[in-house]
Amino acid sequence: MPYTLSGPQRRSARTATAATIAIIALGLAACSGGRGGDASTSEPSGEAGATVEQFALVAPENESDFGWNQAGLDGATAASESLGIEVTLVPDAGWDNTETVLGQVADSGAQFIIAHASGYGVAATSVAQAKDVPILIQDAGENIPGKIAVTKTEAQEGGYLAGIAAAMSTTSKTVGIVVSADDLNWFKMSSGFAQGVYSVDPTISVLYTSVGPAAYADAAGGKTAAEQLIASGADVIFGMGDGATHGYLQAVEAADGVKYIADIGDVTAGLSNTDVLLTSVLWNYASTYEQAIEDVEAGTFGEQGYALTVDNGGLSLQETDNLTAEIQAAIETAKAGIADGSIVPTAAENAAQVNEVIAAKGD
């Protein structure tokens, strides 16, 4: 069910009516093709210089995944508050009727849409062209001036920082990576993580496993995979999972002396013992969304894409009590090296490349 938030009044931001929300909800429930309702209170516009008074984010799941969906929803809320404009959040949109959902959102009056899933790119491009509304897509696709811009994440940079924290925290000299899908960003984070570990101590063993090719929400499988890494001696687990994260957390909390590194979001609410959390590689989309909206208003949207990096604050490590002053100092040094180009973590594109980086032991 979509819900609408309004930020402080930068300009005369209209609050969405119940009827407008009902139109979007009807489109989600009906799951039928077509353009959707025509009762919007304002027309979507992809025109250069159009003032954005309301925007929307569509996500496949919700913030309870502690990861991808949480980060997108939080980023849109923060951008709304910062810019003082209305945002309609549409979590739990799923995967089966993306074009219908995006079309309904455009018809409801959103003047800018964030399609928050890499699998939404094709549908988003179709809707952007048909509805004349600018849409921000993820990971893959082509920038189309006035219509489509692509956001990419230099995830290997955040992974590198997490690897340093892991290497400086392990006592068994074995750390583990578990991913729940064949996901480009997670391949990149995994290779960067291994290199970060080896930058501290190349004798540390890095173990890598996957829950499945598309097991994003498989909590039971995630628990089993994490348990296998722990049984193999890993006392730091770097987990990438969305819903599978719940299983990772169960395995770590049931173990003795194991620390957990999360990805993308804050998993604190999912832990009964927060002391097991070493850190999380946080993805902050707020500034990207703000810049995209400013570009829509300037008429330059789609002329180039956007990137989350360590240097621009899109990627960072969550502060916890387990990040000692020594670890923090090493992380700051690495951040400076990434910013000046003296450290360039490898961005793996598949599991084979991740395993090659691990096998190289930092060579």
Please report, for the chain, the start and end positions of each structural domain, with discontinuous segments joined by +. 3-153+285-308, 155-283+324-360
Per-residue pLDDT of 279-311, as tens digits, reads 999 999 999 999 999 999 999 999 999 999 999
pLDDT of residue 80: 95
Identify the CATH number of the domain defined by range 3-153+285-308. 3.40.50.2300
pLDDT below 50 — which residues of the chain? Answer: 1-47
Per-residue pLDDT of 72-98, as tens digits, reads 999 999 999 999 999 999 999 988 889
pLDDT of residue 216: 87
Per-residue 3-state assignment (H helix, E strand, C coil) for the chain: CCEEEECCCCCCCCCCCHHHHHHHHHHHHHCCCCCCCCCCCCCCCCCCCCCCCEEEEECCCCHHHCCHHHHHHHHHHHHHHHHCCEEEEECCCCCCCHHHHHHHHHHCCCCCEEECCHHHHHHHHHHHHHHCCCEEEECCCCCECCCEEEEEECHHHHHHHHHHHHHCCCCCCEEEEEECECCHHHHHHHHHHHHHHHHHCCCCEEEEEECCCECCCCHHHHHHHHHHHHHCCCCEEEEECHHHHHHHHHHHHHCCCCEEEEEECCCHHHCCCHHHEEEEEEECCHHHHHHHHHHHHHCCCCCCCEEECCCCCCEEECCCCCCCHHHHHHHHHHHHHHHHCCCCCCCCCCHHHHHHHHHHCCC
Fold of the domain built from segment(s) 155-283+324-360: Rossmann fold (3.40.50)
pLDDT of residue 211: 95
Task: Note whether 3-153+285-308 and 155-283+324-360 share their fold.
Answer: yes
